[in-house]
């Protein structure tokens, strides 16, 4: 039996299907993009058949239906399928035909399909990010109203905390026009609703993180909390699918763009920003926290900052965090310069967030962290690690951009 290749051009209402069997291309027409219609078509497939479709909103639901019958289901990256994006003639039939021919020829840029748990974690992390952004917009709206009405700054550090809200309601709100008072009042109700929903999803994420050993392993790195660890795991899934740390760095979009042609020098530009943006943002935020703790990461940040500036240095530190994460997950080891009391504090905060009862006499997230002798001893270990890293790198010179090895001296190697 010959292998049949099927190309799906998926839309919200319908799906255009093309079939390639041998050298014969057949347009099978359209079917509704509904579970019943897709399931009915999937039942006509065999384990010898291969199906391809582009990544879109409902891709993974369609993949789950097709995988029950087809031998192979491939998800294509639409950003890399230039034959479709740059086509002179672009119709549903042409798109389906292009996909199926690329699949049959082995030229298709394939996207990794996450398992059900990873997909669920991705959706939960994305939902939390949306709630955080919505709450931030509400805060900015209220601050903007106070600013344009020349209201003095809040004497409290947090305008939306208990003391700050009391000042807002009793002193700032009466000074506003009636229509502005209505907007502020509505914004406070929206803030409370979003905050309650945010606490719920964070409790769910915390409960799901507790039984995952890789989350605790990532939290041994300074700066990485449970949210950053879950963002990494949601984006990466199984780290074994990345052969080297540089592959993971490129997947997360933290690798610099490279331009080189002929015998000219290599030129490095800004980071590519490909891949999941929420994981990249979490890593940059974790890098800002990591450079405040003593250790090699802080020395690395300051060494790069002195040459290239703070923004480039923190992105470079985030790239180091990715390399560390790859090694820790691939080797199943903790960070070499781990601070056990700080990790205990992070983990206890995670337990409390998940709903675990507090311990008797416990202060804050983890009372062991507040033992000053232990904390000072761990900081001293971090300082010693900084000295060792400084001695190791004191004679290093910035790497110059060189011409591509494959075009050295104008020769092919």
Q: Give 406's pLDDT tier (boundaries 50, 70, 90).
A: very low
pLDDT at 125: 93
Find all residues with CB under 8 Å of 112, minimum gap 6, and list them. 75, 237, 241
Whether residues 120 and 89 share a domain: the answer is no
pLDDT score of 386: 81
Residues 73, 159: one domain?
no
Question: Do residue 258 and residue 388 come from a single domain?
Answer: yes
Residue 249 has pLDDT above 90, yes or no: yes
Q: Does one domain contain both 277 and 345? A: yes
Asked whether residue 404 is domain-assigned, the answer is no
Task: Name the pairing type of β-strands 72-76 and 50-54.
Answer: parallel
Do 201 and 233 lie in one domain? The reply is: no
Q: Is 400 within the bounds of a domain?
A: no
Let me know if residue 342 belongs to a domain. Answer: yes
Examine the domain organization and report whether 144 and 77 are in the same domain.
no
Asked if residue 37 belongs to a domain, the reply is yes
Domain termination site, one of 111, 142, 175: 111
Which residues are CB-neighbours of 399 under 8 A, at least 6 positions away? none
Query: What's the domain range around 167?
Result: 116-209
CATH number, position 101: 3.30.420.40
pLDDT tens-place string over residues 185-227: 999 999 999 999 999 999 999 999 999 999 999 999 999 999 9
Q: Are residues 260 and 375 both part of a single domain?
A: yes
The answer on 377 and 244 residing in a single domain is yes
Partners of 226 in the beta sheet? none
Out of 174, 209, 244, a domain closes at 209
Is 236 part of any domain? yes
Residues 233 and 333 in one domain: yes
- Closest Cα to residue 62, out of 71, 50, 75? 75
**Are 389 and 250 in the same domain?**
yes
Which of 111, 133, 166 is at the close of a domain? Answer: 111
Q: From the centroid of its chain, how far is CA 345?
A: 24
Which tens digit of pLDDT belongs to each residue from 318-359? 999 999 999 999 999 999 888 888 888 888 889 888 988 877
Q: Is residue 413 part of a domain?
A: no
- In this predicted structure, the answer to whether residue 367 has a pLDDT above a threshold of 60 is no
Is position 366 within any domain? yes
Q: Is 61 within the bounds of a domain?
A: yes
Query: Do 220 and 310 share a structural domain?
Result: yes
159 and 281 together in one domain: no
DSSP assignments along 324-362, one per residue: HHHHHHHHT---TT--HHHHHHHHHHHHHHTTPPPPTT-
Domain count, the chain: 3
Closest CA to 317 of 297, 331, 337, 333: 297
């Amino acid at each position: 039996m010959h292998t049949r290749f099927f190309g799906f051009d998926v839309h919200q209402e319908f799906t255009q299907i093309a079939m390639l069997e041998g050298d014969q291309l057949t347009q099978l027409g359209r079917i509704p993009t509904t579970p019943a219609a897709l399931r009915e078509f999937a039942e006509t497939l065999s384990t010898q058949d291969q199906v391809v479709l582009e990544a879109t909103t409902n891709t993974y639901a369609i993949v789950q239906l097709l995988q029950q019958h087809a031998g192979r289901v491939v998800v294509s990256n639409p950003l890399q399928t230039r034959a479709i994006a740059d086509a002179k003639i672009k119709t549903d039939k042409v798109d389906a035909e292009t996909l199926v021919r690329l699949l049959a020829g082995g030229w298709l840029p394939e996207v990794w399909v996450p398992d059900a748990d990873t997909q669920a974690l991705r959706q939960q992390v994305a939902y939390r990010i949306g709630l955080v952004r919505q709450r931030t917009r509400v805060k900015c709206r209220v601050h903007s109203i106070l600013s344009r009405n020349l209201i003095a700054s809040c004497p409290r550090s947090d305008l939306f905390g208990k003391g700050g809200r009391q000042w807002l309601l009793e002193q700032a709100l009466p000074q506003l026009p009636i229509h502005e008072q209505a907007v502020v009042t509505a914004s406070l109700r929206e803030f409370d609703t979003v905050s309650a929903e945010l606490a719920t999803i964070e409790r769910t994420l915390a409960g799901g993180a507790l039984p995952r050993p890789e989350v605790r392993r990532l939290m041994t790195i300074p700066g990485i909390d449970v949210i950053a660890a879950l963002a990494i795991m949601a984006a990466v899934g199984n780290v074994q699918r990345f052969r080297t740390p540089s592959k993971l760095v490129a997947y997360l979009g933290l690798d610099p763009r490279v331009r080189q042609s002929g015998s000219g020098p290599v030129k490095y530009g800004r980071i590519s920003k490909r891949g999941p943006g929420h994981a990249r943002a979490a890593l940059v935020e974790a890098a800002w926290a990591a450079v405040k703790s003593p250790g090699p990461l802080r020395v690395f940040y300051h060494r790069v900052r002195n040459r290239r500036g703070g923004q480039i240095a923190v992105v470079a530190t985030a790239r180091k965090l990715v390399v560390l994460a790859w090694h820790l997950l691939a080797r199943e080891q903790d960070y070499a310069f781990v601070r056990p009391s700080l990790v205990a504090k992070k983990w206890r905060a995670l337990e409390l967030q998940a709903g675990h009862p507090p311990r008797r006499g416990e202060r804050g997230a983890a009372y062991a962290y507040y033992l000053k002798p232990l904390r000072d001893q761990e900081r001293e270990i971090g300082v010693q690690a900084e000295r060792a890293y400084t001695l190791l790198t004191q004679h290093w010179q910035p790497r110059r951009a060189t011409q591509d090895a494959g075009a050295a001296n104008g020769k092919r190697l």
